């Protein structure tokens, strides 16, 4: 502690900027970790809180996935001996068409019994109006809104509120305003309550409910009720506490969460290398100080602990700053995740506040601290080994990076061999270690470890390879810069390793994005080929508003329409996972689809599915759940269990968790639901799609809410959403550039300190300031170039692993391996420019350094 | 005394007395307390069941019709008015009733169909014309307030005397009228939201004068009857006032155009019938 105060503190005070750079490494790692996880958790928390607030005193909820079920189920639930009160609910997302307001979550409830479960906490002035459920339910335009929404819209009780419904834009009358707490604060306050039967009508639900919320009789347990209701309703229903919906939402977001985890892990690794580099600077710069301490009797152990103590303090400070910074950026990231989730998953959930999880913050603090200490272990050991005699000799410096140890190469070779073995034999793993996936991830980690272990050696080899080129370009400066890199490969390798990791992540994400684009575009071309799509919402993934089937023939009768296909899609729970069911007229689809199955015979696949004798599943579902052609699927539905074989596996990206395609007749039979989400419209040859679109809009104007998208618009929409999903890549690129700047500044600082005598001699023998500058610049560019080369190499490997993860663990997508050349080409100028920027300050520092001081010994 | 009351003399009795009528809204609340009275009129009957049975017997009619004005006074004294027409076919546990709102405009046409049963709770459906939907009022919801009034849906039911046990608590007065004070407890505790009720039956007419309903030990609702008239020989309170003792609000129902034993068809008491538009 005394050493920290007497030795370390004055050093920090003398080198404020350097200290900030040191801390920046850990701040970056912790901030990315905290920011991304907090944002992700905030969105999940916002969803759970919305569920909780809406649930009120609900103890169990009866659902059938997203499909809803017939009203009669309510009476069956109410008749259960364990149930005290059971109330129906319809949920819909409705657009307000108000700038800055967005969508409302409309909760359709039966006011008669619902107040047993939910407290609407109405403002006193509205009590008389809404306490009278008669007025409320007699008028289908009745709506209750939250105080927050009323304030945002500057509306009050009695005011009109336009909403887009299945029947077009309808003007609702606000008959109550809920106080801004509890239920009213769900969904960020964008919540409206209306009568459940009016909601059915307004949102095209027919005589179905989305779910039933229930409370139990006193003395009865949740397990008892689940057992009784399970027996009463059959396997097609889920009977879970409200928290179960949060878990389903979490499952839907699993893919995104996994990407966040990967990014966070890389950020921490990168932070570790920046710290390593920073401590290397400190050890180099304070060699004389260490020599004096050793001469005065300080033991090696004390020196080691001094540096480890400094790293702990640095880690603590960096982690604390990282926590704060992470929480700040979490808000921005959460907002973008909210938009993404709304667009990709059709679940509009905005994180209205950041959920600070103490466990996460504590973990981040501990990880930051541990990373910092771990990163300082090698520099601390080096410091402890400083020879006091050499250190006190002016003009002599100890070459810390004395070359690669054979042990390191040996370990790297062993890890490499093991990694290759894991790659070659992924299925040999015993079950107790998690089966083939554990082996796969072990192989992945080993591959990264090999790259890290070999980075000093590879940096050296590349620097040697660069030397002739640099010398040819700039005989003096080029040779000096290359020699500097060759003489101290470990000094360079930390920056290179950080850069390499960062670029490897960017390359892998870029490659995955490219492959996904190609695959999605291919799917769009072959499967989504109708000319027009008629939908009840602008958002193609919103399934809470539906059309009646009678609209199909009406659209078909419009001039210029050749064919109409009715599509009903909804998420259901299949083998404890939310997957998408897509019900369509398969015989018609066969006439228009141009896609070949991944497995199965095209002709029999369509024939059997159309006849209701089989099901088609998406390739991603087959991959994720290990489904095979011919396998008998059991799908529990509200009106029985579907038992049909898989007759075809096709590429379909309707849902990240997978899709089951069936004929509409099968869906109608087992769900008793003939509503439609989308009409796929094919235009007659010679007819104008724009003209048909206009006629469809005019046909339903004022009658129904109809959005007609052209094929090109739909594709653009899907690609835009895909863009959002891969927006993470741009964050990674920003981190990579930051890493490049930080790492290279640090490396060059070390380099200049190490070479101050050499630089002094150069100046003494007549080297111009410009030459010194260019030497440093070339060194920086070389580091950037080496980092790019190694980053691309590791990125190529990383991409392979990421595609495997996507295929088997995240989305089940079979993506082709294509190195993202365009991403790589974009990174070259970005990183080299960053390197050059990073070299400015160290170069000026080298130029201004005192010649007398540098040559004092001479 | 109105014209209807003058049409028919008192049915029985050696000394002149007014006959009791406990029909409330035709069947609201107190009809539960009606009953067959085996003893001679005016007798000092002390058996509570016999008193209740007599009260029910005296209000027995083949049908009932009236127009009601419902006034809800909230805790601040504000009033909200609604009007309805009420028709009932049959009596007590074997009756059907349709209650149809006529004003204000926003609730006009909303109808409630009640089918009473002698041995269990009634079935109730509501029709909302603007939504074009009927909905069943679930048994679990019967304890909730009836359309913002201080009555509950259960209070609309007509139950037979046999569904309760009775205990004489003694004599009491409501206003200036001497009454029997009788405690009634539902035989199946889960069939009612109330654990017990105390009913005051006037000794002179066997009309129910007050009902106080309890949940546990707490009195939650009190219904007072006043402005008695004899309509076609049946003593009927023209004004009923229900107080929600927990909320501090009260609802007053005033009966008008009261008519008993008018011809009515069974077809008028079906779901199809209540869906018909109001003229």
ipTM of the complex: 0.75
Is 50 exceeded by the pLDDT of residue B19? no
A208-232: per-residue pLDDT in tens? 899 999 999 888 999 999 999 999 9
Q: Looking at CA atoms only, how far is residue A339 from chain B in angstroms?
A: 35
B193-245: per-residue pLDDT in tens? 888 999 999 999 999 999 999 998 899 999 999 999 999 989 999 999 999 99
Q: Are B122 and B160 in contact (CB under 8 A)?
A: no
**What is the mean predicted confidence (pLDDT) over B143-150?**
81
Q: Looking at CA atoms only, how far is residue B78 from chain A in angstroms?
A: 9
B154-164: per-residue pLDDT in tens? 888 777 788 88
Q: Are A80 and A225 in contact (CB under 8 A)?
A: yes
Nearest CB among A78, A131, A139 relative to B138 is that of A78
The per-residue pLDDT for A665 is 95
Long-range contacts of range A358-365, CB-CB < 8 Å, 24 or more positions apart?
Answer: A360/A34, A360/A37, A360/A38, A360/A41, A361/A34, A361/A323, A364/A30, A364/A33, A364/A34, A364/A37, A364/A319, A364/A322, A364/A323, A364/A326, A365/A30, A365/A316, A365/A319, A365/A320, A365/A323
- How far from B225 is each of B70, B208, B237, B239, CA to CA, in Å? 14, 7, 6, 6
Is 80 exceeded by the pLDDT of residue A810? no
Count the helices and strands in chain A (H runs, E runs).
Answer: 32, 20
The per-residue pLDDT for A120 is 65
The per-residue pLDDT for A330 is 83
Interface test with A, best of B128, B149, B150, B244 (most A CBs within 10 A): B128
Q: Looking at CA atoms only, how far is residue B264 from chain A in angstroms?
A: 27
Q: Which residues are CB-neighbours of A442 under 8 A, at least 6 positions away?
A: A418, A422
Q: How confident is the model at residue A351 (pLDDT cuts 50, 70, 90)?
A: low
Q: Which residues of B touch A86 (CB under 8 A)?
A: 138, 140
Mean pLDDT, rounded, of chain B: 79
Count of structural domains within chain B = 1
For chain A, how long is the longest CA-to-CA vector?
A: 100
Among the listed ranges A269-283, A625-639, A666-680, B107-121, which one has the minimum average pLDDT value?
Answer: A269-283
* B140/A115 touch (CB, cutoff 8 Å), yes or no: no
A322-338: per-residue pLDDT in tens? 888 888 888 877 777 77
Q: Which residues are CB-neighbours of A751 under 8 A, at least 6 positions away?
A: A484, A488, A491, A492, A776, A779, A842
Nearest CB among B78, B128, B144 relative to A138 is that of B128
Nearest CA in chain A to B80: A128
Collapsing DSSP states into helix, strand and coil, what is residue A540? coil
CA of residue B216 relative to chain centroid, distance: 23
* B130/A135 touch (CB, cutoff 8 Å), yes or no: no
B22-68: per-residue pLDDT in tens? 333 334 433 333 322 223 344 455 789 999 989 888 888 899 999 99
The per-residue pLDDT for B21 is 28
Is 60 exceeded by the pLDDT of residue A584? yes
Q: Domain holding B251: CATH number? A: 2.50.20.10
* Residue, of A378 and A187, whose pLDDT is higher: A378
Decide if B123 is inside a domain.
Answer: yes
* A85/B74 touch (CB, cutoff 8 Å), yes or no: no
The per-residue pLDDT for A246 is 63
E strands, A96-135, are 103-109
Burial A572-589 (b: 16+ CB within 10 A, else e): bbbeebbbbbbbbbbebb
Q: How confident is the model at residue B11 (pLDDT cuts 50, 70, 90)?
A: very low
Q: Of A509, A680, A659, which is closest to residue A589 (Cα–Cα)?
A: A680
The per-residue pLDDT for B5 is 34
Residue B164 CA to residue B168 CA, distance in Å, equals 13
Nearest CA in chain A to B79: A128
The per-residue pLDDT for B147 is 78
Among the listed ranges A33-42, A106-115, A180-189, B189-198, which one has the minimum average pLDDT value?
Answer: A180-189
Residue A235 CA to residue A641 CA, distance in Å, equals 7
Q: Which residues of B touch A122 (CB under 8 A)?
A: none
Q: Of A264, A381, A305, A209, which is closest to residue A8 (Cα–Cα)?
A: A305
Residue A143 CA to residue A158 CA, distance in Å, equals 10
Is 80 exceeded by the pLDDT of residue A126? no
Residue A803 CA to residue A809 CA, distance in Å, equals 10
* B138/A86 touch (CB, cutoff 8 Å), yes or no: yes
User: What pairing do the DSSP bridges indicate for beta strands B96-103 and B111-115?
Assistant: antiparallel
Nearest CB among A128, A200, A201 relative to B80 is that of A128
Is 50 exceeded by the pLDDT of residue B9? no
Q: What is the percent of chain B with per-residue pLDDT over 90, rounded to a whole number? A: 42
* B74/A127 touch (CB, cutoff 8 Å), yes or no: yes
A8: its two tokens: 């370390």
Residue B130 CA to residue B110 CA, distance in Å, equals 9
Residue B109 CA to residue B84 CA, distance in Å, equals 9
A77-105: per-residue pLDDT in tens? 998 999 988 989 998 888 777 776 677 88
Q: Of A60, A829, A856, which is closest to residue A395 (Cα–Cα)?
A: A856
Residue A165's beta-bridge partner residues?
A168
Q: Which residues of B touch A218 (CB under 8 A)?
A: none
Sheet holding A191-195, edge to edge: A160-165, A168-178, A142-146, A191-195, A103-109, A83-95, A211-216, A60-63, A238-240
Nearest CA in chain B to A135: B107
Residue B98 CA to residue B264 CA, distance in Å, equals 12
Residue A731 CA to residue A505 CA, distance in Å, equals 11
Highest mean pLDDT among A224-238, A471-485, A749-763, A796-810: A224-238
Other Cβ atoms within 10 Å of A419 Cβ, number:
20
Is 80 exceeded by the pLDDT of residue A389? no
Highest mean pLDDT among A131-140, A146-155, A217-226, B5-14: A217-226
* A78/B139 touch (CB, cutoff 8 Å), yes or no: yes
Residues found in chain B: 279
Q: What is the CA radius of gyration of chain A?
A: 32
Is 50 exceeded by the pLDDT of residue B18? no
User: For the purposes of burial, counting CB atoms within 10 Å of the CB of B54, is it exposed (0-12), middle (13-18) or buried (19 or more)?
Assistant: buried
* A138/B130 touch (CB, cutoff 8 Å), yes or no: yes
Q: Looking at CA atoms only, how far is residue B107 from chain A in angstroms?
A: 6
**What is the mean predicted confidence (pLDDT) over A833-852?**
79
The per-residue pLDDT for A336 is 72
Residue B39 CA to residue B50 CA, distance in Å, equals 7
* B133/A115 touch (CB, cutoff 8 Å), yes or no: no
User: What pairing do the DSSP bridges indicate for beta strands A532-535 and A707-710?
Assistant: antiparallel
Q: Looking at CA atoms only, how far is residue A59 from chain B in angstroms?
A: 16
- The secondary structure of A742-780 as a DSSP string is HHHHHHHHHHHHHTHHHHHHHHHTT--HHHHHHHHHHHH
Decide if B279 is inside a domain.
Answer: no
* B78/A128 touch (CB, cutoff 8 Å), yes or no: yes
Q: Which residues of B touch A112 (CB under 8 A)?
A: 135, 137-138, 141, 144, 153
Which residues span the domain enclosing B244?
3-274
Q: Which residues of A touch B140 (CB under 8 A)?
A: 78, 83-86, 113, 116
Q: Which helix (H) or strand (E) holds A692?
A: helix A689-700
Residues found in chain A: 858
User: For the purposes of burial, counting CB atoms within 10 Å of the CB of A126, is it exposed (0-12), middle (13-18) or buried (19 or more)?
Assistant: buried
Decide if B156 is inside a domain.
Answer: yes
The per-residue pLDDT for A114 is 66
- How far from B204 is each of A141, A261, A635, CA to CA, in Å? 51, 84, 70
Among the listed ranges A256-265, A282-291, A424-433, A724-733, which one has the minimum average pLDDT value?
Answer: A424-433
Among the listed ranges A543-552, B14-23, B101-110, which one has the minimum average pLDDT value?
Answer: B14-23
Residue A128 CA to residue A146 CA, distance in Å, equals 17
Other Cβ atoms within 10 Å of B100 Cβ, number:
19
Q: Which region, left, alpha or beta, applies to residue A590 given φ > 0 means left and ψ of -120 to 50 means alpha?
A: alpha
Decide if B127 is inside a domain.
Answer: yes
Q: What is the CA radius of gyration of chain B?
A: 18
Is 80 exceeded by the pLDDT of residue A759? no
Q: Looking at CA atoms only, how far is residue A113 from chain B in angstroms?
A: 5
Collapsing DSSP states into helix, strand and coil, what is residue A543? coil
Residue A779 CA to residue A586 CA, distance in Å, equals 64
Residue B103 CA to residue A280 CA, distance in Å, equals 86
- The secondary structure of A153-195 as a DSSP string is HT--TT-EEEEEETTEEEEEEEEEEE-SSGGGGGGGG-EEEEE
The per-residue pLDDT for B28 is 44
Is 90 exceeded by the pLDDT of residue A834? no
Q: How confident is the model at residue A428 (pLDDT cuts 50, 70, 90)?
A: low
Nearest CB among B74, B110, B138 relative to A113 is that of B138
* A138/B106 touch (CB, cutoff 8 Å), yes or no: yes
Decide if B173 is inside a domain.
Answer: yes
Residue B36 CA to residue B52 CA, distance in Å, equals 7
Q: At what angle do helices A254-285 and A727-754 cross, to 10 degrees?
A: 10
Q: How confident is the model at residue A377 (pLDDT cuts 50, 70, 90)?
A: confident
* B131/A197 touch (CB, cutoff 8 Å), yes or no: yes
The per-residue pLDDT for A613 is 94
Q: Which residues are CB-neighbours of A686 under 8 A, at least 6 positions away?
A: none
**What is the mean predicted confidence (pLDDT) over A145-170?**
83
A252: its two tokens: 């839907």
Interface test with A, best of B138, B154, B275 (most A CBs within 10 A): B138
Between A and B, how many residue pairs show a Cβ–Cβ distance under 8 A? 76
- How far from A513 is each of A185, A714, A724, B178, CA to CA, in Å? 37, 19, 11, 89
The per-residue pLDDT for B25 is 36
Q: Are A325 and A27 in contact (CB under 8 A)?
A: yes
CA of residue B176 relative to chain centroid, distance: 22
- How far from A756 is each of A21, A399, A485, B9, CA to CA, in Å? 21, 13, 15, 127
Is 80 exceeded by the pLDDT of residue A851? no
Mean pLDDT, rounded, of chain A: 81
Q: Which residues of A touch B (CB under 8 A)?
A: 74-75, 78, 83-86, 110, 112-113, 115-116, 127-128, 131-135, 137-140, 195, 197-198, 200-201
Nearest CA in chain B to A71: B135
* A112/B137 touch (CB, cutoff 8 Å), yes or no: yes
Q: Which residues of B touch A (CB under 8 A)?
A: 72, 74, 78, 80, 82, 101, 106-107, 109-110, 128-133, 135-141, 144-145, 147-148, 153
**What is the mean predicted confidence (pLDDT) over A739-764?**
71
* Residue, of B143 and A504, whose pLDDT is higher: A504
Nearest CB among A74, A110, A133 relative to B147 is that of A133
The per-residue pLDDT for A401 is 45
Q: Which region, left, alpha or beta, applies to residue B156 given φ > 0 means left and ψ of -120 to 50 means alpha?
A: alpha
Burial A452-480 (b: 16+ CB within 10 A, else e): bbbbbbbbbebbeebbeebbeebeebbbb
Q: What is the percent of chain A with per-residue pLDDT over 70, rounded to a whole number? A: 83
Among the listed ranges A354-368, A429-443, A538-552, A581-595, which one has the minimum average pLDDT value?
Answer: A429-443
A423: its two tokens: 């790659």
Is 70 exceeded by the pLDDT of residue A432? no
Q: Looking at CA atoms only, how far is residue B241 from chain A in angstroms?
A: 18
Decide if B200 is inside a domain.
Answer: yes
Residue B149 CA to residue B242 CA, distance in Å, equals 9
Is 70 exceeded by the pLDDT of residue A402? no
* Residue, of A194 and A6, whose pLDDT is higher: A194
Interface test with A, best of B74, B130, B275 (most A CBs within 10 A): B130
Sign of the CA dihedral running A115, A120, A124, A125: negative
Among the listed ranges A167-181, A207-221, A687-701, A811-825, which one has the minimum average pLDDT value?
Answer: A167-181
């Amino acid at each position: 502690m005394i050493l920290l105060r007497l030795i370390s503190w004055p050093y920090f005070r003398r080198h404020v900027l350097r200290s900030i750079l040191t801390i920046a490494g850990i701040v970056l790692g912790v901030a990315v970790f905290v920011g991304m996880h907090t944002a992700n958790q905030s969105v999940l928390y916002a969803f759970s809180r919305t569920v909780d607030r809406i649930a009120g005193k609900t103890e169990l909820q009866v659902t059938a996935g997203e499909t809803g079920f017939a009203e009669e189920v309510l009476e069956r639930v109410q008749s259960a001996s364990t149930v005290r009160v059971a109330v129906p609910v319809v949920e819909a997302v409705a657009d307000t068409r108000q700038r800055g307001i967005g969508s409302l979550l409309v909760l359709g409830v039966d006011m008669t019994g619902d107040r047993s479960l939910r407290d609407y906490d109405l403002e006193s002035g509205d009590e008389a109006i809404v306490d009278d459920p008669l007025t409320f339910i007699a008028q289908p335009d009745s709506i209750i809104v939250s105080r927050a929404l009323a304030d945002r819209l500057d509306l009050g009780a009695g005011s009109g509120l336009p909403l887009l419904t299945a029947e077009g834009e309808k003007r609702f009358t606000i008959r109550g305003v809920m106080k801004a707490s509890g239920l009213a604060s769900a969904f960020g306050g964008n919540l409206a309550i209306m009568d459940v039967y009016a909601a059915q009508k307004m949102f095209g639900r027919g005589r179905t409910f989305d779910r039933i919320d229930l409370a139990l009789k006193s003395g009865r347990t949740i397990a008892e009720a689940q057992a009784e209701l399970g027996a009463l309703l059959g396997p097609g229903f889920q009977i879970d506490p409200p928290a179960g919906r949060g878990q389903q939402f979490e499952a839907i977001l699993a893919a995104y969460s996994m990407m966040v985890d990967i990014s966070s892990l890389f950020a921490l690794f990168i932070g570790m290398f920046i710290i390593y580099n920073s401590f290397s600077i400190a050890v180099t710069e304070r060699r004389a100080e260490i020599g004096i301490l050793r001469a005065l009797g300080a033991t090696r152990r004390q020196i080691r602990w001094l540096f480890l103590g400094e790293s702990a303090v640095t880690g603590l400070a960096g982690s604390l700053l990282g926590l704060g910074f992470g929480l700040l950026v979490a808000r921005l990231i959460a907002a973008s995740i909210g938009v993404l989730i709304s667009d990709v998953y059709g679940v509009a959930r905005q994180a209205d506040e950041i959920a600070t999880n103490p466990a996460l913050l504590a973990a981040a603090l501990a990880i930051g601290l541990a990373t910092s200490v771990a990163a300082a272990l090698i520099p601390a050991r080096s410091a402890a080994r400083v020879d006091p005699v050499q250190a006190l000799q002016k003009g002599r410096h100890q070459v810390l990076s004395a070359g690669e140890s054979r042990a390191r190469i040996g370990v790297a070779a062993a890890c490499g061999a093991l990694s290759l073995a894991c790659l070659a034999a992924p299925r040999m793993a015993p079950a107790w270690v998690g089966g083939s996936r554990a082996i796969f991830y072990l192989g992945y980690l080993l591959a990264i470890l090999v790259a890290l272990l070999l980075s000093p050696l590879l940096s050296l080899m590349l620097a040697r390879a660069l030397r002739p080129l640099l010398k040819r370009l700039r005989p003096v400066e080029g040779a000096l810069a290359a020699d500097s890199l060759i003489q101290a490969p470990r000094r360079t390798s930390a920056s290179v390793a950080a850069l390499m990791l960062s670029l490897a992540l960017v390359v892998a994400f870029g490659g995955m994005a490219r492959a996904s684009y190609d695959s999605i575009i291919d799917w769009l071309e072959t499967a989504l080929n109708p000319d027009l799509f008629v939908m009840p919402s602008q958002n193609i993934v919103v399934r809470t508003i539906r059309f009646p089937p009678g609209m199909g023939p009406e659209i078909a009768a419009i001039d210029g329409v050749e064919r109409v296909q009715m599509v009903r899609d909804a998420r259901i729970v299949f083998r404890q996972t939310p997957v998408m069911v897509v019900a369509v007229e398969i015989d018609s689809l066969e006439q228009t689809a141009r896609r070949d199955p991944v497995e199965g015979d095209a002709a029999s696949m369509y024939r059997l599915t159309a006849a209701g004798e089989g099901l088609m599943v998406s390739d991603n579902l087959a991959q994720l759940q290990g489904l095979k052609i011919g396998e008998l699927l059991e799908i529990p539905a509200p009106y029985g269990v579907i038992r049909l074989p898989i007759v075809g596996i096709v590429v379909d990206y309707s849902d990240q968790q997978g899709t089951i395609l069936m004929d509409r007749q099968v869906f109608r039979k087992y769900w008793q639901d003939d509503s439609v989400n989308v009409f796929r419209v094919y235009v007659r040859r010679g007819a104008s799609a724009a003209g048909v679109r206009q006629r469809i809009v005019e046909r339903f104007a004022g009658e129904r809410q109809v959005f007609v998208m052209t094929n090109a618009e739909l594709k653009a929409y899907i690609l835009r959403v895909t863009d959002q999903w891969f927006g993470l890549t741009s964050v990674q690129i920003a981190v990579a550039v930051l890493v490049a700047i930080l790492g290279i500044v640090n490396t060059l600082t070390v380099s200049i300190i190490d070479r101050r005598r050499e630089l002094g001699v150069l100046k003494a023998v007549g080297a111009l300031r410009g030459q010194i500058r260019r030497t440093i610049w070339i060194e920086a560019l070389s580091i950037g170039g080496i980092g790019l080369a190694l980053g691309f190499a590791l990125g190529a490997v990383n991409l392979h692993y990421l595609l495997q993860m996507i295929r088997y663990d995240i989305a089940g997508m079979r993506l082709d391996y294509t190195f993202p050349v365009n991403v790589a080409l974009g990174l070259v100028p970005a990183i080299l420019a960053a390197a050059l920027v990073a070299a400015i300050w160290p170069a000026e520092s080298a130029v201004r350094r005192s010649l007398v001081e540098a040559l004092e010994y001479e | 005394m109105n014209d209807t009351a003058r049409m028919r003399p008192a049915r029985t009795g050696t000394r002149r007395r007014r006959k009791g009528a406990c029909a409330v809204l035709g069947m609201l609340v107190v009809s539960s307390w009606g009953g067959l009275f085996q003893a001679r009129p005016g007798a000092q009957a002390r058996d509570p069941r016999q008193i209740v049975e007599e009260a029910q017997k005296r209000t027995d009619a083949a049908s009932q019709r009236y127009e009601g004005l419902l006034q809800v006074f909230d805790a601040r004294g504000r009033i909200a008015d609604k009007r309805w027409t009420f028709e009932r076919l049959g009596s007590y546990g074997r009756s059907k009733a349709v209650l149809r709102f006529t004003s204000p405009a926003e609730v006009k046409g909303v109808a409630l169909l009640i089918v009473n049963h002698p041995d269990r709770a009634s079935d109730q459906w509501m029709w909302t014309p603007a939504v074009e939907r009927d909905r069943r009022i679930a048994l679990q919801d019967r304890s909730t307030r009836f359309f913002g009034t201080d009555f509950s849906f259960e209070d609309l039911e007509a139950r037979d005397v046999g569904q309760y046990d009775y205990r004489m608590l003694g004599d009491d007065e409501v206003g200036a009228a001497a009454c029997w004070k009788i405690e009634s407890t539902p035989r199946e505790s889960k069939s009612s939201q109330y654990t017990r009720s105390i009913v005051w039956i006037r000794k002179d007419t066997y009309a129910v004068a007050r009902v106080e309903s309890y949940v546990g030990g707490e009195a939650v609702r009190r219904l007072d009857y006043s402005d008695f008239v004899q309509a076609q020989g049946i003593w009927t309170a023209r004004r009923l006032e229900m107080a929600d003792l927990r909320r501090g609000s009260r609802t007053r129902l005033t009966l008008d155009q009261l008519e008993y034993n008018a011809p009515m068809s069974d077809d008028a008491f079906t779901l199809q019938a209540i869906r018909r538009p109001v003229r």
